[in-house]
Structure 1
Amino acid sequence: MRTAAIVLHPFLKADYAVLISWIDSPRVLLEFAGPHFTYPLTAAQLDLNVSDTRRHPFMAVDSHTGEKVGYAECYFLDQSTVKVARVFIAARYRGMGNGTALLQSLLQFACTQCNAKRVVLNVFEHNKAAMTCYTKLGFVMQPNVFKRVDFEGETWRSVGMMLPLKSPE
């Protein structure tokens, strides 16, 4: 079995339809973006999102096949902190290591392009696959960072995670 490898490509207007096609329900949208967007996801929402100059959105492309397999963003909270947000692997590409490979590419971007000292993210507690991926990469829970979102009679809790980055030697 080959190792997943992801290349980050800038997210362009031409990519909107691909991302929108992956987000096929209000539940999937909330899991992907938290309450940042409303269903159905639209080009106008994406235009507004990418217009934020602190946000760097990417299409995740499989380096072996050239296929678009996911989406993610790096968001500059301040000069030393990057927030990884809206991480999404399309359903048919899950379970193949693409999430881990995408995060590794985002961490490399945060280190080399942003000179970040730490990376933070939020994840819903019920998303065990994502939490396992993040923990495997060294992220640790931030016990006092959490939010609650109500969805269809359920309360979803998101928790904060953080990864300190090593300074270049």
Structure 2
Amino acid sequence: MIKLELLSETDFPQIVTWVNQYSRDFMVQWSGKTYEYPLTVDQMKAHYSRGINSIESDVFIYKIMDDGRFVGSVQLCRFNWETREAVVGRFLIGEETNRGRGIGKKALNELVRIGFHQFGLETIKLNVYEFNRQAIKCYESVGFRKSLYREKMYQDSNGVWWNNFEMTLRKEDWLKQFKEDIVAGE
């Protein structure tokens, strides 16, 4: 069973371990250009200097739990209370063996539910690099749709430029899809 629980700073070392088992390019895919590779707990603490998991910090970070095991993390941040929007960020399933098993889709569905019901959001956005087809497929299965395309957002270590999609999910569309999924028996 997939659940989301609020993450604490004591969980940062696990995220650092997961991210650092890959490359600088992977870290940029996960966090944009926020951090220097290799990731450190100190960098994370400095980035979240206003704290986490409060309206004042403007970020809520969740541990993705699979039958009681901490398998990943995801955050909801950059809240715009006037437009009732927020952004999904730093979505990570830590170990590659846990990817492709539906954990991400279930976690994202739960995060969207929290965003729309607990925070009263009307729109949730996220950004994804164009080549990350598996992630795009996951996001689309939850109801996100491509809404903006940006070229040449990052040049990787091999000199290849990465293009980016902003994807958007509106509450009314998610509720409609949710009802359709219930009728279809999913």
Residue in structure 2 matched with residue 61 of structure 1 by the alignment: 65
Contact residue 82 and residue 118 of structure 1 kept, 8 A: yes
Residue in structure 1 matched with residue 46 of structure 2 by the alignment: 48
The alignment of Structure 1 onto Structure 2 pairs a total of residues equal to 162
Partner of residue 87 from structure 1, selected from 88, 91, 101: 91
Residue in structure 2 matched with residue 121 of structure 1 by the alignment: 126
Greater radius of gyration (CA):
2
Q: 5+ residue gaps in structure 2?
A: 51-56, 176-186
TM-score (norm 1): 0.88
Partner of residue 17 from structure 2, selected from 18, 21, 40: 21
- Counterpart amino acid of residue 72 in structure 1: V
TM-score (norm 2): 0.81
Residue in structure 2 matched with residue 138 of structure 1 by the alignment: 143
Residue in structure 2 matched with residue 75 of structure 1 by the alignment: 77
- Counterpart amino acid of residue 74 in structure 2: A
Pairwise CA RMSD:
1.8
Q: Distance in 1 between matches of 2:41 and 2:18?
A: 13
Partner of residue 104 from structure 1, selected from 104, 109, 114: 109
- Counterpart amino acid of residue 58 in structure 1: Y
Q: Distance in 1 between matches of 2:64 and 2:110?
A: 9
- The alpha carbon displacement at 1:44 in A equals 1.5
Residue in structure 2 matched with residue 35 of structure 1 by the alignment: 33
Q: 5+ residue gaps in structure 1?
A: none
Q: Distance in 1 between matches of 2:9 and 2:48?
A: 10
Q: Which has the higher contact order (CA 8 A, sep 6+)?
A: 1
Residue in structure 1 matched with residue 167 of structure 2 by the alignment: 161
- The alpha carbon displacement at 1:48 in A equals 2.5
- The alpha carbon displacement at 1:147 in A equals 6.0
Q: Distance in 1 between matches of 2:116 and 2:122?
A: 8
